[in-house]
Chains A and B, each alone.
Chain A
Amino acid sequence: MSIATAPRARALPLPIGLSAPARYLRTVKFLLPFIILVGIWWAVELAGNFPERVLVSPARVWDTLIVLSEHGVLAEYISTSLSMVGFATLISLAIGVPVGFVVGSNRYAARSLEGFLRFLQGVSGIAWLPLVIIWCGFTHTTTLVVVIYTLIVPIIFNTMVGVRAVPEYYALALRSLGASRLRLITNVYLPGALPSIVVGVRLGMGYGWRALIAAEMLVRQGGLGDLIFGARTSGQIDRIFVGMILIGTLYVIVDRLLIQPIENLTVARWGVLRK
């Protein structure tokens, strides 16, 4: 349960200056495995002659996707989930980063909190869900609490690690030149800890997104988790497929197009990531 190290996928090389055919080839290479997968799915569906409650064809899933999005239902489910993650991330950052800073600046506090954070992470947010449901009912607040709980632990932890990784003599050097404490934070500790904080956010989003889906399944107040779990009770397997594809695609988009670029930027600007 190492908090600081994420299994980091290797970044794809940037397609700068690729000629048109090369870019075309890249697209094909990217899509080919998915095309094969859908082909297999379709073949199995045709060969097996499954009842509609068990397996439907890709075409059917596509139709459902179109119908759902035309009615605006899909947009509502998606916006519920995304705004929940967005809110939770903002709140976790607003609380987690300052806490991480305070704790990281004292080695006793850092040591004491480390074990506690590991314990909290061992009890996943979703395990607290039944208790939070008793406290807050089947509401958005419940989901939000669970997601924040999940998100905030890696953010505090990585902020703490990032602050502790900044060599002390940087701060000492600036202080001897007459810098104020605030100046130290904005010019030394924040830039120094930023790469680690971004890693924490990325990890937290990975945990948080799953916790969100799980919480939505049980709280049933909208969101993509509600979509797929509700579809199960009514036996609409096409909706489950639509939901799963959306959950995967949205996560990849958020992770690859939003967080990874920020991570690359901070690392490029403020130095090498410490493992």
Chain B
Amino acid sequence: MTSFEQQPTEQQATEQQAAEQQPAEQQPAEHGNWTAGLRRRLARTVPAGQVLPDRQPVYVASWIYVFGVLSLAALLLVLASGVVLTVGGPTWWHTNSVGHFVNSTHLWSVELFFATMVIHLWGKFFMAAWRGKRGLTWLTGALAFFGSLGTAFTGYLSQTNFDSQWISTQAKDGLNAAGIGAYFNVLNTGQMLMWHITLLPLVVGLIVLLHVVLVRRHGVVPPIDERGWLPAAEPSARATPPAATTAPEAPPQPPVEQPVEQPVPAAPRGVGGRS
């Protein structure tokens, strides 16, 4: 909701002038204004300048840190080719040469998405990427992976060919054995197609968006220090006293950023670390 300003009365102007002279922390909070509340919330979520940073910590200069954004790029290609397939429909992608090409692009971008996402997962697992209050980042990454599995599965069911028929009949028995077969029917092509093109992409897209926001909020995880569990390059996790971490509104401070062209310090080693 947007508030509209009216001409203030003399008494209101006096009160407003007195309020502006108070320190910022003593000024009354704006109530009932969703726009201002959303603006404050967004400003608190990601530290200033960290939404689209053009400088990264020096330890990010490693190929292992590339696979997260490669996964995002592959996901965008998946979504773009999927939109084109949605416009054309099954008859088009089965019979038209351009449809064949877009269908193959959709398949191979999914293969690329999963390959880069799994390598991203390996890298983050071995550098214990949940350190430094990044547990929710790790959790949303895992949820994105499992959500992508379901999306890919319903995609295989939506091929409308003998492969999808075989996969659905085999999966039916497995899902029924797992006790979840009553909630959906993998033999229902219409239901699985709808899940694949609307429900699951929406869920995966929101989880991935939250994952990226959390990465920007907490910064890229540094490599494991050879001297201990927490690296020195992570001030928020080592130097901050426990009492300060309980402040609910304070956004975390990302690691100190340096241009990647600078020489790599010798201290950080391990996965992704360069010495």
A binds B: no
